[in-house]
Amino acid sequence: MLHKGVLTRLALLIIMAPALGGCLEDTLSPIRSSALQDAAMADMSGEPLRNDSQQPLSCATKADCPEAFACELGLAGCVERRCGLPTGAEGSGEQEEGCEPGECSAGLTCVSTTLAIREERLQIGIAGTCLLACDPCTPACPVGVACIQLPTGGGYCAHEGLADEGEACAGRGCQGKMGCSGVCKRVCEPEGLVAMGSATSSSDCLAGELCIYRGASTLNGNTFFCEVGETVEDGFACDGFHRLFCKGPTRCEQPLDLCQRRCSEGCAPNTRCSTVWVLSMAKVICVGDGAVPFGGLCGEDANCREGLACVGEDVDKRCLLPMP
């Protein structure tokens, strides 16, 4: 559940979008990735215990860590245990309510399970959920509930400990380098420029996976997940449902469902500069030959799939069956 403060910010962005034109998109994307892992580790509150491959030792509960170590939320895994309850201001937020830091009532702490790139570093997000607070050294969580250490100090009670990839993570959080999006998903650091709905390669992802830019938040930062998919060239059809993504930094333009490239940037082979009307606005963009399916917006016949023609008035031309 989004906190009311987050909703207010998002609502303002949506209201302002027409006035801002392209500025809003430029504000949120494209964004740049850098060598983030070392910076992210430095952001954690203690040096993580590492395995033989020099990767942080992952954990779901304290039982997975050696004595004097605690299981910490985020990238760190097993980290040297630090005693004490979470500190900070108190508010009136009840358990399981959305929050920002300092908005939860006594005995609770605001926990974000989002991993996102903020200030060019992979960090834990800000907005989250009010959960029971605990002391990692003397946990007093209900039976079957693990006390997970927070990078900012203290801990919180996570039902059954941190979730693994594909498991439900609400009220829990995820192990290692994963973020909570209903279920735990592996986050990634994009290799190059990306925009909303576009994809790049990433060393964090497996063969056949892409690093997909999935969301931008004024509080939590920019979120990327490893997902199975294919990239398509500029000017051709993109569709997240069918796992077809634009190559970053090109955006998947809605409602065209095309990887948008402006003619002023030069059109790639097998594409042509066409004027397509979208919501009563003319867009001069590169469109692939035969790229637009039945019912899609078009500028000329060559944009349409084989057997279709670009039919209609200038402000609403679509690829349809040609008139007899």
| Separation in Å, CA 166 to CA 27, 62, 112 | 31, 21, 18
| Separation in Å, CA 182 to CA 43, 277, 279 | 25, 37, 33
Residue appearing with tokens 């990839």: 165
157 three-state secondary structure:
strand
Instruction: Judge contact between 128 and 117, C-beta under 8 A.
Output: no
Please give the pLDDT value at position 144.
84
Please give the pLDDT value at position 5.
47
| pTM greater than 0.85 (yes/no) | no
Please give the pLDDT value at position 34.
35
Please give the pLDDT value at position 36.
35
Backbone angles phi, psi at 209, to 5 degrees: -105, 155
Instruction: Judge contact between 191 and 179, C-beta under 8 A.
Output: no
From 97, 98, 72, select the one nearest 86 (Cα to Cα).
Answer: 72
Please give the pLDDT value at position 119.
82
- Which residues in the chain land under pLDDT 70? 1-55
Please give the pLDDT value at position 89.
81
CA 148 remoteness from chain centre: 23
Please give the pLDDT value at position 217.
86
Please give the pLDDT value at position 53.
59
Backbone angles phi, psi at 166, to 5 degrees: 85, -10
| Separation in Å, CA 79 to CA 43, 123, 132, 186 | 13, 16, 21, 20
Which tens digits make up the pLDDT trace of 253-305? Answer: 878 888 988 899 899 889 999 999 988 889 999 999 999 999 999 999 999 99
Please give the pLDDT value at position 304.
95
